[in-house]
Structure 1
Amino acid sequence: MDGSHVALISMELKCDGFDHFRCDRNLVLGININNMSKMLKCAGNDDIITLKAEDEADIITFMFESPDQEKVADFEMKLMDIDAEELGIPETEYEAMVTMPSSEFQRICRDLASIGDTVVIGVTKEGISFSTGGDIGKANVVCRQSSSVEKEEDQVLVNLNNPVSLTFALRYLNNFTKATSLSPTVRLSLSKDLPITVEYEIEKLGHLRFYLAPKIEEDEGLEEVGEN
């Protein structure tokens, strides 16, 4: 979760997706993402990566092994104390769910960010719309439902219980779209006054989900719905 409690990231990697997976009991490991990124940059492109942690340990070990097993490197990283209960994600029945090409969603967010800072995402039975406005003008993009497209990953599919229209900060959505390479499609789930879920399915391994609180109209302007 980010410092302003506006955005949250959740990733699940299933045990079946690993060459070797062993977990004797449930563990909660607090990891600094920036520090882990530094550790992973020490691995070669073809290295086999193994993560190891003991019960109640204050470190996690990264082992990088070359394919020919001629080089093995161990790196230890200090863990953080994190209250896992604060990061719980309740199950939600969404009013609208849209599956669309992830590259198209990335392009729309990038293009609209050159016009305005926020985007209004609206979903109806006809499709999904993205609207923004700024000092230089306005922009509106509509992706109509297209289940008849030949390639499944190029389809725009809408599952709708009630029409939804919510406003979000484009800078967060553009950060989310950095995960585009993980999946050819992205699923957007929306409900009134609730965070949007932006989900990328990782084939045969799991999924990556981003949650972003909507902005609401107030007397002083637009503000995110979230804890301050």
Structure 2
Amino acid sequence: MDPSHVALIDISWPNSAFEKYVCDEDVKFGVRIDEFAKLIKRSDKKDNIEISITEDKLLLVTIGKNKKYKMRLIESSATDTPLPKITYNAKVVVTSTEFDKILGDIQVVSEYLSITASASKAEFSGRGDSGEAVITLEKGMPEMPEIEVKEDSTATYSLDYLNSIVKAVGAVAGTVVCEYSTKMPLRLEFKVANVGRIHFYLAPRVES
């Protein structure tokens, strides 16, 4: 979860997705994402990356054949963040390419994206000082292969957060599954290369 408690990411990666995976018992640990990301960025595309925990409770990151880094772990209690338990009334599946375009189109006029879904269509809109924009996807369009709506739903979310996650993982996922309810958190699901999945939760913007 980010420091402002607006966004939360949950990643599930099966052991079959790794070239080598050894874990004799359940292990729970935490790392500082910004520091961990800096280490991973020191790798080349051809490098193997090995992650292990040392006997003195440090994270050992081995990159390629000649780079080794050690990181201090965060107390596991600091990482105990429960996942939101929400009943979603709307599910909209959009191709990742189209979703990225929608975010760019709305960002021209607004800092926030509003999603309105009904049984037959989904509308993505934004409004700002310079004007407003609306993108409509009708049921059956190839850009939106699936839409399921139990109850007409509308909610608004930060484009900064949405752009960050879509730029990071959208390219490796064929579709983006958007699930939400009126004025409730949004859950985006990305299935990566048919081996893992990422859930991204984002709190709604609540206007006073």
Say yes or no: TM over 0.5. Answer: yes
**Distance in structure 2 (CA, Å) of the matches to 1:27 and 1:193:** 36
Shift of the alpha carbon at 1:173? 1.3
Shift of the alpha carbon at 1:82? 4.2
- Would the aligned equivalents of 2:114 and 2:156 in 1 still touch at CA under 8 Å? yes
- Secondary structure at 1:94 match in 2: coil
Shift of the alpha carbon at 1:158? 0.3
Q: How does 1:1-228 map to 2 (within 5 A)?
A: 1-54=1-54, 57-65=56-64, 71-83=65-77, 86-146=80-140, 149=142, 154-178=143-167, 179-218=169-208
Please say which of residues 84-93 and 10-19 is displaced more in the overlay.
Answer: 84-93
Q: Assess, with a 3 A threshold, how the Cα gap between structure 1 residues 73 and 217 changes in structure 2: closer, same or farther.
A: closer
What are structure 1's unaligned runs of at least 5 residues? 66-70, 219-228
Shift of the alpha carbon at 1:83? 2.3
Please say which of residues 135-144 and 19-28 is displaced more in the overlay.
Answer: 19-28
The share of aligned pairs that are identical, in percent, is 27
Shift of the alpha carbon at 1:189? 0.4
- Would the aligned equivalents of 2:155 and 2:204 in 1 still touch at CA under 8 Å? yes
- Secondary structure at 2:161 match in 1: helix
**Distance in structure 2 (CA, Å) of the matches to 1:130 and 1:98:** 11
**Distance in structure 1 (CA, Å) of the matches to 2:24 and 2:74:** 21
Shift of the alpha carbon at 1:92? 3.4
Shift of the alpha carbon at 1:132? 1.1
Shift of the alpha carbon at 1:214? 0.8
**Distance in structure 1 (CA, Å) of the matches to 2:95 and 2:78:** 33
TM-score (norm: length of structure 2): 0.91
**Distance in structure 2 (CA, Å) of the matches to 1:86 and 1:170:** 27
Based on CA coordinates, which of the two structures has the bigger radius of gyration?
A: 1
**One-letter amino acid of the counterpart of residue 178, structure 2:** L
**One-letter amino acid of the counterpart of residue 22, structure 1:** V
What are structure 2's unaligned runs of at least 5 residues? none
Please say which of residues 40-49 and 3-12 is displaced more in the overlay.
Answer: 40-49
**One-letter amino acid of the counterpart of residue 66, structure 2:** V
Q: Assess, with a 3 A threshold, how the Cα gap between structure 1 residues 216 and 91 changes in structure 2: closer, same or farther.
A: closer
**Distance in structure 1 (CA, Å) of the matches to 2:162 and 2:192:** 19
Question: How many aligned positions are there?
Answer: 207
- Secondary structure at 1:216 match in 2: coil
**Distance in structure 1 (CA, Å) of the matches to 2:84 and 2:107:** 30
**Distance in structure 2 (CA, Å) of the matches to 1:132 and 1:8:** 23
- Would the aligned equivalents of 1:98 and 1:188 in 2 still touch at CA under 8 Å? yes
- Would the aligned equivalents of 1:112 and 1:139 in 2 still touch at CA under 8 Å? yes
**One-letter amino acid of the counterpart of residue 206, structure 2:** I
Shift of the alpha carbon at 1:90? 4.0
- Secondary structure at 1:36 match in 2: helix
Shift of the alpha carbon at 1:91? 4.2
Q: Assess, with a 3 A threshold, how the Cα gap between structure 1 residues 132 and 199 changes in structure 2: closer, same or farther.
A: same
Alpha-carbon RMSD: 1.8
Superposed CA deviations along residues 163-192 of structure 1, whole A, max 9, x for unmatched, are: 110111211111121121120110000123
Superposed CA deviations along residues 138-182 of structure 1, whole A, max 9, x for unmatched, are: 1111111226x4xxxx44310111111011121111112112112
TM-score (norm: length of structure 1): 0.84
**Distance in structure 2 (CA, Å) of the matches to 1:50 and 1:14:** 16
Please say which of residues 31-40 and 72-81 is displaced more in the overlay.
Answer: 72-81
